[in-house]
Structure 1
């Protein structure tokens, strides 16, 4: 359940962002219509998904904070 506290923390976080690109991306994400579309994948895609799941199970994934750092670095280039 989303509480008012969750919403307020998110609003405050967004208010503190000075990077226009990040604000644009947040706005784009908020415009996305959520639907229940089922995506059909081919065998190659299924194999890649299975490999990605195996990597995550083996701890080979990238921490989300590390991803955010890399994205911020890329956006500054």
Structure 2
């Protein structure tokens, strides 16, 4: 589900631990989000988008040219 969270995290230079701390979750929870094993709440999605300086649509739902092949 969310390699985009990982992509944005790496682009911003955050470790899993630092981003997790910033949004108030355990590092393990962030790892599960990045690997598609955990569906975050809307509140957590908003906090992640804000911390990663992007919007919800781009971070979680936007289907671009590269993502279209996943469906």
Normalised by the size of structure 2, how large is the TM-score?
0.24
Larger radius of gyration: 1
Bigger proportion of residues as helix: 1
Instruction: Give the TM-score taking structure 1 as reference length.
Output: 0.23
